[in-house]
A and B are shown apart, each in its own frame.
Chain A
Amino acid sequence: MNKDRHKKVRVASMRTSSSGIHASSSSRPSRRRARWAGLLSALLVLGLVLSACGGGGATGAGGGTDPAEGSAGTPVKGGVLKFARSLDVDVGLNPIDAPSNGSIFVIQQIFDQLVEAEADSEVHPGLATKWESSQDGLHWTFHLRDAKFSNGEPVTAEDVKFSIERFADPKLNVNYSTLGESIKDVEVVDPHTVTINLSHVDASFLDNVAMFAAAIVPKKVVEEVGDKAFSEHPVGSGPFELKEYVRGQKTTLVPNPNYWRKGEPYLNEVVFEYVPDANTRVLKVRSGEAQVADAIPYNQVAALEGTEGLEVQSADTLSWTSVFLNLKKPPLEDEKIRQALNYATPKEQILESVLYGHAEISNSNTPKLKYWDESIPPYPYDIAKAKELMAESSSPDGFNLELTIPAGEPAVQQTIEILKQEWAKIGVTVNIVPKEFGAMFGAWLEGKGGMAATFPPLALSSDTLSDDEIVAITLDPSAGLNALGTSYDNPKVNRLIREAKGTLDEEKRAQDFAEIQQIALDEAPAVPLFFTQSLTAVGSEVKNFQTFPIGWWPLREVWLEG
């Protein structure tokens, strides 16, 4: 199916000013004209002929659209979904040992958890139909539904016990051991009921056990073939099973005939093609070779939106971008300077020029999670106030700021270049230091990475819906990461974090986290920029496609039209 995507004119909605994408084009660009323009731009290379304004009239800014909601019609069975993906299944498909989104998002299609995180902030029934906790919050009982693995074997309480105890074992669950540390052991009450006993009250427990690493795996199979073989030939109870995995090229999934949600999935096959180059991904979905492409670059969204038969979905994520400051490097220990940097940051302008509106201005040092307080105002862009603060600070004449950025990330680079220009106005000279991500990340976390750093857009994200883990990592040095390299250490904040985790009182938790958010914002161990969004191009024949904030897609709901 190789449909050519015709371009169409869209009424310019949000931005007509800055992005300056061809303001012309009042006539409807025909297919012939688009072809002619493209031909000439290629001839430019071959014959040094200057073409007219290339590419026809891709005007206007669609802006983000809502995730495809509700089926427009009744689901149709069949079809092959071709997904051009920016990541490959690189670390195998064993839930207990897959610290990479490349693998994780596919694992989610193959396995189930007891409870599942979806689009909202509460967990939903997964393999467990209902659950309750004891009064003291230390014993959680889960009631299992009838479900089968893809090999026909039923999912039993033994499998659950096996899987959860592995999740709780820091020697097996090396990558996410903090999320399972409150689990003491698992009891089999009867073939359809288990009780998970905790060693202490953990308010985030339910959200933690919804994560992929706590997926339920068949005990017999894993014990028989071992973890490594299981990683290549996974067996789960999820909507899909693995048909074929060609490393570095593609991953093919087919429906699990024994899936417990009757009727789902609708698709006959899902093919994930690994396409690391962003331009190539966009071209693939434009030419119709793929129906879905993820990680669309910000500056291509408008053009894709203007292409007939395509839309770009922007979805919230559990991710955020910030410029982290190292409080141990003078003069950054001065709070006034850090606040000045925040006031001197033109977030609206960056949002418009670099991100084309596809993000949300952040009012927190942590991402938008369950207890995020919307009402706290973000730092406004106020150069006057910034100058005032600098004048009162320990370095009124300014200073040099060395800022490390990840190499090869154009949006980050442009953002920081704007900051460089702006912060120069308050006397701060920014030296941009692009470093390969692998080289900078570890050093930064240890506090040895220089004065300031920022990371690629989706590099830091929460793995669960609760704030506990990510807030602790970001603001509490006792979590082991030096408060994400900033060396921020506020005893009051640390206490609040511990209190929030140790109570099941929702109101108290919300209160605590709101307070933490405000304090952290005021004390500014970082310059929070945006809550990142995921941008996915979806063909119009793909129905019911959405991206969860946690990052993956419920492909079991997706069906193809026509």
Chain B
Amino acid sequence: MGAYLLKRAVQAIPVLIGISLAAFVLIHLVPGDPAQIILGAQATPKAVATLNQQLGLDRPLVSQYLDFITGAVHFDFGESIIQKTSVGGIIGSRAEVTLLLLLYSVVISILIAVPLAIVSALRRNRPLDHGIRFFSTLTFAMPSFLLGLLLILFFSLQLELLPTSGYGDGFAGHLRGLTLPALTVGLYLAPVLLRTLRVGVIDTLGTEYVEAARARGLARPRILFKHVLKNSAISTVTVLGLNVGFLLSGLVVIENVFSLPGLGSELVSSIVNRDYPTIQALTLVFGVSVVVINLLTDLLYAYLDPRVRL
């Protein structure tokens, strides 16, 4: 096990270097100068040059990159150009929001998808099945910001159940603030899960040993919960793992609509402001997250399915 983890870690290194290098090159290709953006209309060439020097942006690119990498290894990501505070601090406080949102969304999507998948599988190809899949496509295919706004209109304005935006105070406040955004993401994720789960349930139901168990007279619910769900868990985990990468990117829009101080909105604003250190750090963080999640997925996979050997 330890050897396996080490092997994976070693495999991840070229990937991470590749990502950080690509990000560095890419954002320096983007036109625009952070000093100029900061100074705005007062941006005389002299002022821009002074600021650039103060920010260390006039050094050769190679040394800027190497500085970043050596710092990153020690978890020192430097200082944000715009916010003049440590990038690590910014990421730390915002990561909590994004992670919580992600977790909450996954929970909601599972809560929606699992019962519907079971019903859909049991009534396979009957009207109910088609109906469920039809309505799930509705929330999957709708632009997320539109869905989010409509949910706000409904739950916040009409029903006055939940806040329109913001992260809230205290854990309870956070949960309340994250409910609508998590619902928006969950409604997008659920159809994806639904299809996989449905297939898993159908397949498992059709296997011989389930048939045998049924012939033996075992109650249906017991069969479902014991065999079916456990096997479905595998495919759920796989699908979630595959989608998380893109999910992280999709959170950007959601965080904007709901004014959530997470990593997604930070990423957009740092790109807009050419806040190089923050962009690089965030890219690395995202990349590491995807790698870690892939690893966790594989481990979970192995745990759930004894046939799989790492």
Contacts and interface: CB of A to CB of B under 8 A. Distances in A.
Interface of A: 2, 4, 35, 38-39, 41-42, 45-46, 90-92, 97, 99-100, 170-171, 174-178, 228, 231-232, 246-250, 273-277, 279-280, 283-284, 286-287, 289, 436-439, 441-443, 445, 459-461, 473, 479-481, 484
B41 A460 contact: yes
Interface of B: 30-33, 36-47, 50-51, 54, 82-85, 90, 93-94, 135, 138, 142, 147, 149-154, 156-158, 160, 163-167, 256-259, 261, 265-266, 272-274
B272 A438 contact: yes
Nearest to B155: A42
A404 to B, nearest CB: 12
B99 to A, nearest CB: 15
B257 A277 contact: yes
19 contacts: A38-B154, A39-B154, A45-B138, A46-B138, A90-B83, A99-B42, A178-B44, A232-B85, A246-B93, A276-B265, A277-B165, A283-B164, A284-B165, A287-B157, A438-B273, A445-B43, A461-B41, A473-B41, A480-B46
A280 B158 contact: no
A442 B43 contact: yes
B261 to A, nearest CB: 3
Contacts of B274: 438
Q: Which 9 A-B pairs have the closest CB atoms?
A: A248-B261, A480-B44, A42-B154, A442-B36, A280-B165, A38-B158, A438-B32, A283-B164, A439-B32
Contact of A178 (B31, B42, B85, B163): B42
B150 A45 contact: yes
B256 A479 contact: no
A228 B84 contact: yes
Given A45-B138, A248-B93, A274-B259, 7 more contacts: A35-B158, A38-B158, A246-B261, A283-B153, A284-B164, A287-B160, A441-B36
B44 A277 contact: no
Contacts of B82: 90-91
Contacts, number: 151
Contact of B256 (A35, A247, A277, A442): A277
A284 B157 CA distance: 9
B55 to A, nearest CB: 11
Contacts of A284: 164-165
Contact of A248 (B39, B142, B266): B266
A289 B163 contact: yes
A433 B108 CA distance: 41
A279 B149 contact: yes
Contacts of A275: 165-166, 259
Contacts of B157: 38, 283, 286-287
Nearest to A44: B150
A442 B37 contact: yes
A246 B156 CA distance: 24
A174 B51 contact: yes
A176 B142 contact: no
B37 A174 contact: no
Contacts of B138: 45-46
A546 to B, nearest CB: 25
Contacts of B36: 441-442, 445
A248 B260 CA distance: 8
A42 B183 CA distance: 14
A246 B90 CA distance: 10
Contacts of B44: 178, 479-481
A132 to B, nearest CB: 30
A279 B259 CA distance: 11
Contacts of B54: 174
Contacts of B150: 41-42, 45
